Structure 1
Amino acid sequence: MSSTLPTIASPRKLSTAERAFVAANQWLIIGLMGSMAVLVFVNVVSRYLFNHSIIWVEELTQYQMIWVTWTGAGLALREGRHVAVDVLEGWFPPLLQRIVRTAIALIMLAFLVALAWYGAQIVAFSWNQETPMMGIRTGIPYLGIPIGAVVFGLHLLLFFNDFVGRRFEVADEATAEAG
């Protein structure tokens, strides 16, 4: 088992820009998750050994989780990790399966555009408010929503044909462990 990022198993060759985009997204998630783990660990140690909690850690890690969730959704799509009900799709002939998956992808794109639009409005509305503990603009944590929607949309656009053809980028775990 390797400690590096997952190997791309896509049937197509990714461009340098797309590989860089995916890698930057992966490293963002790794950085946020790693810093969350360190912050929570330090806060627990501080609370139980020194009877003192770092008051802003809980708030910051909640905001980091918002960013991890929204910016990681596109990566999960590429890896086929979103929950999908595809029982009915299996009953269709291959051409109809592609049509259904194309419609699904287009509906997802429309939803992501709306999410980015309304997320930006939430950011603008909350920009002049401050968070309770850290005192930063409330719009900063909420930026994860429109940015995540745009990142997810970019993943979907770059991955569109593979999504429609059900070709995901990370082999299933049994294949990965065997290889």
Structure 2
Amino acid sequence: MSNPREDQTDLGIVDKAFRGLVAVCRIITGAALVAMTVLLGYQVFGRYVLNDTPTWVDPLSLLLVMLIAFLGAGIGVYENTHLAVVFFRNMASKKIRTIMVVLTDAVMALFGGFMMWYGWQLTMFKWNTLIPMIQWPEGLRTLPLTICGGMVMVFSLGHLVRLFLGRDHRVDNIE
């Protein structure tokens, strides 16, 4: 069976941009995961070997967790690997199932738009406050939320466009 993501390449330059964004997000989340692992290892080494705990590791690790979680969620929406309850949708007729999919994608796009808008407002509100121990802008904690909201909105709208063009080949991952 072919990969559902590969079957959705019918939108040309839009899908190239989506795949490029997802590839960049994968690199960022992978690097963030490696960095967090190294940082936490350094914290343990500092605490137990050097007897001097580096206090800046915790706030930096929390920033990395936010980055990993929210960029990963955006990737999940694009690849249709996010958690979904499909029991009732699978029991419905094809017409009802299509309506449910449209409603789900529309609600996801709306939710992503709200995440992006209010995440941006929160990021700007907190930008001039510094995170203790690392002295970076507090808005960096909510910036991944804003980016994720934009990704969820755009990817959900892309799914809707594919559906209306008859090019949506997504399958439910959990049945």
Q: TM-score range by the shorter chain?
A: 0.7 to 0.9
Q: Conserved in 2, the CA contact under 8 Å of 1:67 and 1:148?
A: no
Counterpart Cα distance in 1 of 2:19 and 2:168: 20
Per the alignment, residue 37 of structure 2 pairs with 37
Whichever residue aligns with residue 153 of structure 1, its letter is: M
User: Could you list the per-position Cα deviations for residues 43-63 of structure 1 after superposition, in whole angstroms to 9, with x for gaps in the alignment?
Assistant: 111211111111111100101
User: Could you list the per-position Cα deviations for residues 15-72 of structure 1 after superposition, in whole angstroms to 9, with x for gaps in the alignment?
Assistant: 4333322211111111111111111111111211111111111100101111111111
Superposition deviation, residue 8 in structure 1: 7.2
Counterpart Cα distance in 1 of 2:9 and 2:116: 29
What SS does the corresponding residue of 1:85 show, helix, strand or coil? coil
Counterpart Cα distance in 2 of 1:95 and 1:42: 56
Per the alignment, residue 175 of structure 1 pairs with none
Instruction: Return the TM-score normalized by structure 1.
Output: 0.80
Superposition deviation, residue 118 in structure 1: 0.9
Q: Report which of the two has the higher share of helix.
A: 2
Written as runs of structure 1 = structure 2, the 5 A alignment for 1:62-77 is 62-77=62-77
**Bigger shift: 41-50 or 147-156?**
147-156
Whichever residue aligns with residue 12 of structure 1, its letter is: Q
**Bigger shift: 144-153 or 12-21?**
12-21
Counterpart Cα distance in 2 of 1:92 and 1:165: 18
User: Could you list the per-position Cα deviations for residues 68-115 of structure 1 after superposition, in whole angstroms to 9, with x for gaps in the alignment?
Assistant: 111111212234432222111111111211111111100111111111
Give the alignment's Cα RMSD to 1 decimal: 2.5
Instruction: Return the TM-score normalized by structure 2.
Output: 0.82
Counterpart Cα distance in 2 of 1:95 and 1:142: 39
Q: Which of 152, 159, 170 does residue 167 from structure 1 map onto?
A: 170
List gaps (5 residues or longer) in structure 2.
none
Superposition deviation, residue 9 in structure 1: 5.0
Q: Conserved in 2, the CA contact under 8 Å of 1:71 and 1:152?
A: no
Per the alignment, residue 143 of structure 1 pairs with 143
Superposition deviation, residue 166 in structure 1: 6.2
List gaps (5 residues or longer) in structure 1.
1-6, 173-179
Q: Conserved in 1, the CA contact under 8 Å of 2:4 and 2:169?
A: no
